[in-house]
C-alpha cells in the first residue's frame, strides 16, 4: 500500500505522512477506516518502527488520524472537510518549491509572475505544447 | 537521553596499530542504529570491547548502564544483550536442539514459543549437527538464538551476510519491528541499502574514529549535493563553511556537499558568478564513501 | 551446569578414544600375558612384576600421559580459530567459570582414565588364572590420577599460552620432556620430583608428595585462568 523511498531527499516519516494523506485525498482511505498497527505496518513496508510511530504521531497531532488507546489508528472523521484545504495547502507548497527554484536560477519575481500568467491565460498554446 | 551504549574516549591499540581512537559512541534506546565502516576501521574491535572480549587500552564505556571495563558489570549487561558475531560459526559438535537448549539455559528472557516458531520458519532440522549445516542455516540459527529472547539490546555484526534475499527481507522486517518490543538494535553492515531502509540513526567509523553520527532524517532533509558551473576559476576558499562536507572539482564544475541546507552555498556561488546546475539529495552510500575515502 | 556439558561434548571424542585404548590395552596385557610378556621383558618375571613393567610403568603409562596431554588441549584459543569464541564469550558467564568447567571436566576424565586399568587388571586377571591385588592396583590408580592431573594442567596451560592447533600440543610435550630432564639432573631429586616416577611408584609416593603435586596442578590451572582473564579475543 505504501512505498517509501529511502533515497529521496525527504525523511521517511514525512513520506509516509504524505502517502497516508494522499490515500485519504483520493478516497482510498475513508473517515473511520483503520490503519495497520504501528508494528505491523513497520514490518510490512520494512521501515523502522520509530518512523511509523513518528508519522502516526504527527498525523494525530494535525488531526488527520485518531489513535484510540487499545484499538489502533483510525482516519479522523473531520477529514472529509479538511481534505480539500489540506490539498490546497499541498498545492501551494508545490508552487512555492517551483518559485524558489526559479528564483535561484536568477529569475526576478516580475519575470516569474509573467511566466505564470502566460501559462494560465493562454491554455490553447499550453495544450499544444503538450 | 537514554543511551544503551555510551563510550568515552575509548581506544584500543594492538602493538603499533591504533585500531580505535578516542571513540565517543552513543546509541539511543529503542532506536535502530546502523554502524558503518570499512573493513579494518574498528567496528568489530569496538563491539568486542563493549562485550568484554577485548580490553580497551584506555577510555571507558557503558553498556546498558554497566561499565564495560569491569568484568562483573559487563557480565550483568550481557544478560540483556544478544550478540550475533561476524564469525557465524557455532559449536560444530552440538546438534541444533542441543545448542538451543544450551543457549537457553543462560538467559531468563528466553522464549521457547518464539524459538520453536523460528525453528519452523527457518526450517532448521533440530537433530542435525551444526557442522552439517550450510552457512546460511548457521546464520539463521545464530539469529534464532538472539531473537528467541527479548533482549534489551541486539548487537549484530553483518547479520545478512550469507542469507538469501527472502531471508534478508524477513530479518529486516524483524529488526524494523524490534523497537516495539523495547529492543534496541545496533548492527554493523556493508549493505548500505539495508541500513538506509530500516535505521533511525547511523554511525560511521573511519580509521578508528567516529566520523559521522547522524539520524537518517537529518541526512535526508538537510544534506544536499549542489552542482555548480563556474565560468572563471573560483576563489580558493570560497566554500569554507562549517556545513560543507566535501568539495569536488571537475574542470569548470564544482560539486559541493552541504550538511545544512543549500542557502549559504548558493549565496556564495552566486557572488562568484556560478550557475547552479542542480541540487539533489545525498544518499547514505554517497555520504559513506565521501566520509571514508581519502579526502582531496 | 551447561558449561560442564559443553566441556564434556568438546572432549568426548578424545576421552572415549582414551577409554577404548586404556580398556583395550589393559585387556590385551591381561589376556595375552604369555605372549606380551616377552615384549615387556627378556627374563622371567612374576605376573605382578610383568603388570608393573607393562602397564603401570611401561607402555600403557606412556599412552596415558599422551591421552591426558590431549585432554588438556582446547579452550578459548581453539574456539577463536574455529570462530565460536565470540558466542562463548558473549554468554553471561565469567571467564573463570569457563576455565573451571573445562578444568573440572578434564580432571574427572583424567581420573577415570587412570582408574580404568587400575580396576580392569585385578578384575580380569582371574580369567587368565592370575591374580593381582586390588589394593596395589588402586594405589597405582591413585598415583596415576595425581600425576595425570598435573600433566593435564601443564597441557591446559600450554593451550592458553599457544593458540595454534599443534603448537599447544608441541609446547606441552616440550614442557613435559624438559620437566623430566630437569628432574633427572644430578642433585635435583631433592627439589623436584619426576611425575613419571611418581606414577609408577618408583619415586616418592607418600601423601605429602601427592598433595604437593595436586597443589601444583591446581595452581597451574589457576595460572591458565588468570592469563585467560587478561587476554584479548
Residue A3 has pLDDT above 50, yes or no: yes
Q: Is C touching B (3+ C-beta pairs, cut-off 8 A)?
A: yes
Per-residue pLDDT band at A127 (split at 50, 70, 90)? very low
pLDDT at C190: 60
Three-state DSSP at C107 gives helix
B94/C230 CB distance under 8 A: no
B53/C9 CB distance under 8 A: no
Q: What is the mean pLDDT of residues C120-146?
A: 88
Mean pLDDT of chain C: 87
Residue C202 has pLDDT above 50, yes or no: yes
Summarised one tens digit per residue, pLDDT across range C210-223 is 888 899 999 999 99
Which residues in chain B have Cβ-Cβ distances shorter than 8 Å to C90?
A: 51, 53, 78, 81, 83, 85
Question: What percent of chain A is predicted at pLDDT more than 70?
Answer: 86
Distance from CA of C219 to the nearest CA of B (A): 22
Per-residue pLDDT band at A130 (split at 50, 70, 90)? very low
A3 touches chain B (CB under 8 A): no
Calculate the CA dihedral of residues C146, C152, C153, C158 and round it to 10 degrees: 160
pLDDT at A78: 66
Q: What is the mean pLDDT of residues C24-40?
A: 81
pLDDT at C199: 77
Q: Which residues of chain B register pLDDT less than 70?
A: 294-296
Give, in order, the Cα–Cα distances in Å from B202 to each of A95, A124, B283, B287: 33, 51, 12, 11
Give, in order, the Cα–Cα distances in Å from B164 to each of A15, A42, B168, C66: 29, 21, 6, 46
What percent helix, strand, coil does chain B show, rounded to 5? 35, 30, 35
Q: Report the distance separating Cα C167 and Cα C153, nearest Å.
A: 16
Cell of B183: 529492543
Per-residue pLDDT band at A27 (split at 50, 70, 90)? confident
pLDDT at C179: 80
Mean pLDDT of chain B: 91
Interface ipTM? 0.88
Of C223 and A9, which is predicted with more confidence?
C223
Strand extents, DSSP E, chain A: 34-35, 65-68, 72-75
pLDDT at B295: 57
Give, in order, the Cα–Cα distances in Å from C153 to each of C16, C96, C165: 20, 15, 18
pLDDT at B26: 95
Which residues in chain B have Cβ-Cβ distances shorter than 8 Å to A46?
A: 169, 172-173, 176, 197-198
Least reliable range by pLDDT among A45-49, B247-251, C217-221, C229-233: B247-251
Residue C196 has pLDDT above 50, yes or no: yes
What is the residue range of C85's domain? 2-230
Cell of C228: 585467560
B274 CB-near residues (< 8 Å, 6+ apart): B228, B229, B230, B231, B234, B254
Residue C86 has pLDDT above 90, yes or no: yes
Three-state DSSP at A69 gives coil
Stated as kind and residue range, the H or E segment containing A16 is helix A12-25
Give the gyration radius of chain B's Cα atoms: 22
C83/B88 CB distance under 8 A: yes
Q: Report the distance separating Cα A87 and Cα A91, nearest Å.
A: 6
Buried b (16+ CB within 10 A) or exposed e, C211-228: eebbebbeebbbebbeeb
pLDDT at A126: 44
Interface test with C, best of B50, B66, B91, B130 (most C CBs within 10 A): B91
Which residues in chain C have Cβ-Cβ distances shorter than 8 Å to B85?
A: 86-87, 90
Name the one residue in this structure whose C-alpha cell is 545464530: B142
Of A42 and C207, which is predicted with more confidence?
A42
Nearest to A48 among B176, B220, B221 (CB): B176
Name the domain count of chain C: 1
DSSP state of B273: T
Distance from CA of C150 to the nearest CA of B (A): 27
pLDDT at B200: 96
A13/B217 CB distance under 8 A: yes
Q: What is the mean pLDDT of residues A83-108?
A: 85
pTM equals: 0.84
pLDDT at A128: 43
Amino acid at each position: 500500500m505504501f512505498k517509501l523511498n529511502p533515497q529521496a531527499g525527504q525523511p521517511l516519516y514525512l513520506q509516509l505522512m504524505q502517502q497516508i494523506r494522499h490515500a485519504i485525498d483520493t478516497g482510498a482511505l475513508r473517515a473511520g477506516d483503520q490503519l495497520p498497527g504501528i508494528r505491523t505496518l513497520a514490518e510490512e513496508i520494512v521501515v523502522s518502527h520509530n518512523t511509523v510511530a513518528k508519522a502516526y504521531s504527527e498525523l494525530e497531532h494535525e488531526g488527520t488520524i485518531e489513535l484510540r488507546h487499545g484499538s489502533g489508528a483510525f482516519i479522523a472523521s473531520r477529514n472529509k472537510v479538511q481534505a480539500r484545504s489540506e490539498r490546497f495547502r499541498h498545492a501551494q507548497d508545490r508552487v512555492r518549491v517551483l518559485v524558489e527554484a526559479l528564483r535561484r536560477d536568477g529569475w526576478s519575481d516580475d519575470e516569474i509572475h509573467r511566466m505564470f500568467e502566460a501559462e494560465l491565460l493562454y491554455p490553447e498554446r499550453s495544450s499544444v505544447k503538450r | 537521553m537514554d543511551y544503551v551504549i555510551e563510550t568515552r574516549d575509548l581506544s584500543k591499540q594492538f602493538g603499533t596499530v591504533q585500531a580505535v581512537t578516542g571513540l565517543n559512541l552513543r546509541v539511543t534506546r529503542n532506536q535502530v542504529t546502523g554502524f558503518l565502516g570499512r573493513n579494518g576501521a574498528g567496528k568489530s574491535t569496538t563491539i568486542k570491547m563493549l562485550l568484554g572480549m577485548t580490553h580497551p587500552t584506555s577510555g571507558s564505556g557503558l553498556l546498558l548502564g554497566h561499565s564495560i571495563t569491569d568484568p562483573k558489570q559487563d557480565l550483568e549487561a550481557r544478560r540483556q544483550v544478544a550478540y550475533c558475531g561476524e564469525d557465524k560459526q557455532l559449536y560444530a559438535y552440538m546438534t541444533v536442539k542441543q545448542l538451543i537448549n544450551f543457549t537457553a539455559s543462560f538467559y531468563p528472557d528466553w522464549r521457547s514459543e518464539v524459538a520453536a516458531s523460528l525453528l519452523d520458519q527457518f526450517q532448521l532440522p533440530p537433530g542435525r549437527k551444526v557442522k552439517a549445516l550450510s552457512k546460511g542455516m548457521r546464520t539463521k540459527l545464530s539469529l534464532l538464538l538472539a531473537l528467541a529472547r527479548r533482549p534489551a539490546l541486539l548487537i549484530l555484526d553483518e547479520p545478512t551476510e550469507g542469507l538469501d534475499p527472502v531471508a534478508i527481507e524477513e530479518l529486516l522486517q524483524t529488526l524494523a519491528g524490534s523497537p516495539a518490543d523495547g529492543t534496541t538494535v545496533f548492527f554493523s553492515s556493508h549493505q548500505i541499502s539495508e541500513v538506509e531502509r530500516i535505521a533511525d540513526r547511523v554511525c560511521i567509523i573511519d580509521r578508528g574514529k567516529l566520523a559521522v553520527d547522524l539520524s537518517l532524517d537529518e541526512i535526508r532533509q538537510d544534506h544536499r549535493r549542489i552542482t555548480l558551473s563556474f565560468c572563471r576559476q573560483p576563489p580558493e576558499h570560497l566554500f569554507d563553511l562549517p556545513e560543507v562536507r566535501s568539495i569536488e572539482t571537475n574542470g569548470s564544475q564544482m560539486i559541493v556537499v552541504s550538511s545544512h541546507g543549500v542557502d549559504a552555498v548558493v549565496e556564495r556561488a552566486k557572488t562568484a558568478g556560478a550557475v547552479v546546475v542542480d541540487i539533489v539529495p545525498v544518499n547514505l552510500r554517497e555520504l559513506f564513501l565521501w566520509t571514508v575515502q581519502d579526502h582531496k | 551446569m551447561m558449561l560442564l556439558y559443553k566441556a564434556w561434548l568438546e572432549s568426548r571424542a578424545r576421552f572415549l578414544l582414551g577409554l577404548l585404548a586404556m580398556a583395550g590395552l589393559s585387556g590385551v596385557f591381561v589376556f595375552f600375558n604369555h605372549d606380551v610378556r616377552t615384549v615387556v621383558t627378556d627374563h622371567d618375571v612374576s605376573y605382578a612384576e610383568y603388570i608393573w613393567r607393562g602397564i603401570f610403568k611401561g607402555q600403557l603409562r606412556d599412552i596415558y600421559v599422551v591421552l591426558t596431554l590431549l585432554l588438556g588441549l582446547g579452550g578459548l584459543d581453539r574456539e577463536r580459530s574455529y570462530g565460536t569464541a565470540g558466542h562463548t564469550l558473549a554468554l553471561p558467564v565469567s571467564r573463570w567459570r569457563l576455565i573451571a568447567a573445562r578444568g573440572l571436566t578434564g580432571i574427572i576424565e583424567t581420573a577415570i582414565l587412570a582408574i580404568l586399568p587400575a580396576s580392569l587388571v585385578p578384575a580380569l586377571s582371574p580369567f587368565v588364572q592370575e591374580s593381582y591385588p586390588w589394593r596395589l592396583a588402586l594405589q597405582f590408580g591413585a598415583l596415576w590420577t595425581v600425576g595425570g592431573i598435573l600433566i593435564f594442567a601443564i597441557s591446559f596451560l600450554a593451550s592458553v599460552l599457544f593458540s595454534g592447533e599443534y603448537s599447544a600440543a608441541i609446547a606441552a610435550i616440550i614442557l613435559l620432556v624438559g620437566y623430566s630432564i630437569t628432574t633427572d639432573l644430578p642433585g635435583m631429586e631433592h627439589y623436584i620430583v619426576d611425575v613419571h616416577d611418581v606414577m609408577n611408584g618408583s619415586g616418592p609416593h607418600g601423601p605429602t608428595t601427592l598433595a604437593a603435586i595436586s597443589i601444583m596442578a591446581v595452581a597451574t590451572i589457576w595460572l591458565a585462568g588468570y592469563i585467560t582473564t587478561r587476554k584479548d579475543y
